[in-house]
Structure 1
């Protein structure tokens, strides 16, 4: 059964949501039946990289709130992240357009490294203050998760995976997704936000149970000559 997650790597609640969902998966006895697919979403596709504003100035301008209020909001989410073992250094965050980073995630998905790419990019942004609009940074981060340098250099030197990113964003709009993180279970249930692990566990149990009820169980067997593990042939 597939769980699809729409996320933006500059979204603090998306990193928190990832940890809470992972905690639910660790408790879920049938986690082996679950396939996870990450989808691209941009909270602000209009950001111009290299503008020089720190995160608090950016949020102050975008939301029309005082600088101090933007700082306080982020202090609160930083404290919550810390309870999950996440380190947010918001004062170091480099505000940049995330589109190229999403292209890297799409490339990683083709190599079954989508989750690794999300994790590495979250840490790069929130903890390490890396600029994910810098091509060299993307190449270095991609190499860390196991992608080949030549493939990564081809990515940053082209517009590869642009279509896939835009397709994800368009699909989010079709599904009525207005904010992230957003989790879709078997295209039947949607969970918005970084919910408690207990909520994710409840939806996992329900959706996987329903999915299993639709899968073939008993096979109609036509007998023939076989060999068994006891040597009988």
Structure 2
């Protein structure tokens, strides 16, 4: 049994990439990282961006969407890129392509079902922000899914259907229900939340507090356990 941490984020969100690395730094400092399960939840910063549409110029996109000048957009992203560098991530806004992230989120759900969620999340972030790849493009998603360890046939079958569309929509609706207005948003054991790309020490403090409470509710078995087939008093044998 593990304590669950749910993270709402979007792949084209630079602070989500930074926040992921800050959180992982805290997790490395945490005494029992194996006791934590991370679940990536879907969120779209621009759900109205049509599928198949891609902005090759991030500065133009930001200028249009936020009512900025190109110079202001460059200045804003320059500060974010500096924050990314301090966190150990490379944010290349000059080459980043802005695209609809719906299918990328569906792919992430497929990856999580195969215990590859974190690997794919990092792959998607790196592809978008560092490599300048179009994460709304079908062939790109197939290649990135394979890089993360997914089978090509499973990826194609998912993209050719509406598989995991309900789960993506459910994540987004749940975010609305609990009042999430910006990402990244981390929920620990459904009791504590951290909003934004907070410093690692903030994540660590909250992680330790949440885990202490969770451990009281879920005491450790006082021995190392190797599990195999068992029968229970209710007659179930597996």
Q: 1:104 to 1:51 in 2, by over 3 A?
A: closer
For the Cα contact (< 8 Å) 2:54–2:134, is it kept in 1?
Answer: no
Asked if residue 64 in structure 1 is aligned to residue 54 in structure 2, the reply is: no
Q: For residues 139-154 of structure 1, what are the structure 2 equivalents within 5 Å?
A: 139-154=142-157
The structural deviation recorded for 1:20 is: 0.3
Deviates more, 1:209-218 or 1:87-96: 209-218
The structural deviation recorded for 1:148 is: 0.6
Within the candidate set 121, 128, 132, 1:129 is matched to 132
The structural deviation recorded for 1:53 is: 5.2
Q: Which whole-Å deviations, capped at 9, do the CAs of 1:126-161 have from their partners, x for residues lacking one?
A: 001111111111000001111111111111212111
Within the candidate set 94, 101, 121, 1:98 is matched to 101
Q: What is the TM-score of this pair, normalised by structure 2? A: 0.89
Deviates more, 1:45-54 or 1:206-215: 45-54
Q: Distance in 2 between matches of 1:59 and 1:7?
A: 19
Give SS of 2:28's match: helix
Query: 1:47 corresponds to which residue?
Result: 49
For the Cα contact (< 8 Å) 2:55–2:61, is it kept in 1?
Answer: no
Query: 2:16 corresponds to which residue?
Result: 14
Provide the alpha-carbon RMSD of the alignment.
1.3
Give SS of 2:180's match: coil
Query: 1:26 corresponds to which residue?
Result: 28
Query: 1:222 corresponds to which residue?
Result: none
Q: What is the TM-score of this pair, normalised by structure 1? A: 0.91
Query: 1:110 corresponds to which residue?
Result: 113
Q: Distance in 2 between matches of 1:52 and 1:68?
A: 17
Give SS of 2:198's match: coil
User: Which structure has the greater CA radius of gyration?
Assistant: 1
Give SS of 1:124's match: helix
Q: Distance in 2 between matches of 1:145 and 1:53?
A: 25
The structural deviation recorded for 1:33 is: 1.3
Q: Distance in 1 between matches of 2:220 and 2:150?
A: 39
Q: Distance in 2 between matches of 1:170 and 1:79?
A: 33
Q: Which whole-Å deviations, capped at 9, do the CAs of 1:76-119 have from their partners, x for residues lacking one?
A: 11111112221111111111100010010010010011111110
Give SS of 1:35's match: strand
Q: Distance in 1 between matches of 2:53 and 2:220?
A: 56
The structural deviation recorded for 1:215 is: 1.8
Within the candidate set 3, 6, 27, 1:4 is matched to 6
For the Cα contact (< 8 Å) 2:186–2:193, is it kept in 1?
Answer: yes
Q: Distance in 1 between matches of 2:55 and 2:46?
A: 16
Gaps of 5+ in 1: 220-233
